[in-house]
Amino acid sequence: MPLTANRIVWLKTLIHLVSLGFAANMVWLVLSNKFGADPVDGITHYTGLAALNTLIVTMLVSPIAKYTRQGLLIRCRRVLGLYSFFWASLHLLTYLALDLTFNFSLLGTEILSRPYLTVGAVCWLLLFALSVTSFARIQRKMGAKWQKLHNWVYLVLVLAPIHFYWSSKSELLEPSLYFLLAISLLLIRWKTLKRIVLNPILKRG
Ligand code: HEM
């Protein structure tokens, strides 16, 4: 069944409903004390995993569109990517507001002194750059530079599971699975990666 522009609108509406449903679920978990008396850890985990899961789903769109020959599916990629940034920002805000009581200088010190936070911050900054340049008008203005900038999403895909792995004190299986998933998503794009990463290095050498 070929996807039409109309069906894409429905699919995007579904993406909004599911994402807002997850946000409402988090509010309910907090209000009903399901995260315990101190919900900070629960909210940090929920928002961090939501950011990572949404990123993975975003990165699945192109291969699915390619293998099912449903080119229009690509139109859902932007909204999914923006939701990944939305969750990553809530995750950062939780840490800043509830752990550090809006102490920005402490945030800077923490990010610089704890490597897992440095990695998380790099991911957030890249997601921020990709989100603010995701508008069609900016894409047109940037020309070829736009694709170059948006290729950095591959780095976020690798770094986010590393941040997860590093932040876990005991749980290693789940972050390892995410890491393997990220590597698989990169391997699917082997030809593109070779062109944008390996070829420039080989040329220089
Ligand atoms: C400046 C940016 C960031 C900060 C300050 C930050 C901070 C944190 C903190 C404090 C934790 C909890 C560590 C613990 O359990 O003690 C954490 C875990 C995590 N973060 Fe981040 N993070 C950032 C960016 C990101 C981004 C961009 C992503 C995903 C795209 C992400 C995904 C995760 C995940 C999946 C976890 C583990 C959740 C779990 O334990 O279930 N983080 N982060």
Q: Which two tokens stand for residue 61?
A: 């769109």
Local confidence band at 200 (pLDDT 50, 70, 90 cut-offs) = confident
Contact in structure between 79 and 204 (CB atoms under 8 Å): no
pLDDT at 205 exceeding the cut of 80 = no
Q: Among 55, 86, 63, which residue's Cα sits nearest to residue 160?
A: 55
Cα–ligand 1 centroid distance for 1 (angstroms):
39
* pLDDT, average across residues 40-56: 97
Structural domain boundaries in the chain? 5-204
Specify the pLDDT at position 12: 97
Split at pLDDT 50, 70, 90, the class of 51 is very high
**How far is ligand 1, taken at its centre, from the CA of residue 120, in Å?**
6
Beta strand segments in the chain, E: none
Do the beta carbons of residue 160 and residue 189 sit within 8 Å? no
Backbone φ and ψ of 69, nearest 5°: 55, 40
Q: How much is the average pLDDT of 69-90? A: 97
What pLDDT sits at residue 197?
A: 82
Provide residues with CB under 6 Å of ligand 1.
44-45, 48-49, 51-52, 55, 88, 91-92, 95, 117, 120-121, 123-124, 127, 160, 163-164, 167-168
Query: How many Å lie between the centroid of ligand 1 and the Cα of residue 195?
Result: 31
Q: What is the DSSP letter of 68?
A: T
CA of 163 to the centre of ligand 1 (A): 7
pLDDT of residue 204 exceeding 80: no
> What span, in angstroms and rounded, lies between the C-alpha atoms of 28 and 24?
6
For CA atoms 78, 72, 185, 145, give the dihedral sign.
Answer: negative
The pLDDT tens digits of the residues spanning 124-156 come to 999 999 999 999 999 999 999 999 999 999 999
pLDDT higher than threshold 90 for residue 196: no
Closest by Cα among 7, 25, 1 to 87? 25
Q: Which tokens is 85 given?
A: 């940034």
Q: What is the pLDDT of residues 156-194, one digit of tens each?
A: 999 999 999 999 877 889 999 999 999 999 999 988 888
Alpha carbons 176 and 164: distance in angstroms, whole number? 9
